[in-house]
Amino acid sequence: MRIIDLPIEIIELLETLNSPLILKRHLTIVHATAFNLLARLKDEWPVINLKNELILFGAATHDIGKIKITNELFAAGKKHELAGMEILINQGYKKEKSRFAQTHGDWKVENREIEDLLVSLSDNIWKGKRIDDLEEMIILKLSAILESDYWEVYEKFDIILSEIATGADKRLNWQGQ
């Protein structure tokens, strides 16, 4: 998987907010992962219609609250989620885009939209972390969207995720540089 740059809009936002380098690198990797995941989904199922712009924005900003809650840059925590949504809203972004900062770590909530789930997935799969329950929720939603058999979608989706997870060690090293 190739790491691509964040959109200029996000780079400028992170600069304005004095984002630490490690956070910029993390957001870059998660954004690149979402970009690659969406491309692979489109290659596999050309008829799929997802809100790619929202997913990519969410992946690129999901942890922005760690600018304010700095102790969560290196330790687990959830305070950055609400803080991130507030930061984005204060910067003029609508809730439709800002929500990913709050929803990315809370994917178990019933009726999460597939876009939120794909941001959560991107935040985990980049480092090779597979979460069965999250993947199952996405497969169920993909099956419904595509009007396809669950097991057919499962098989193809599993291959996509296995391929994306490959190289996680290199991405972890890159983030920490």
Q: pLDDT by residue (tens digit) across 47-56?
A: 999 999 999 9
Q: What pLDDT sits at residue 70?
A: 93
What is the arithmetic mean of pLDDT over 58-71? 97
**Residue 177 pLDDT > 80, yes or no?**
no
Tell me the per-residue pLDDT of 80-119, one tens digit each, with 9 for 90 and over: 999 999 999 999 999 999 999 999 988 888 889 999 999 9
Q: Are 41 and 34 in contact (CB under 8 A)?
A: no
Domains and CATH numbers, the chain: 8-176 (1.10.3210)
Burial, 77: exposed, middle or buried (Cβ in 10 Å; 0-12, 13-18, 19+)? Answer: middle
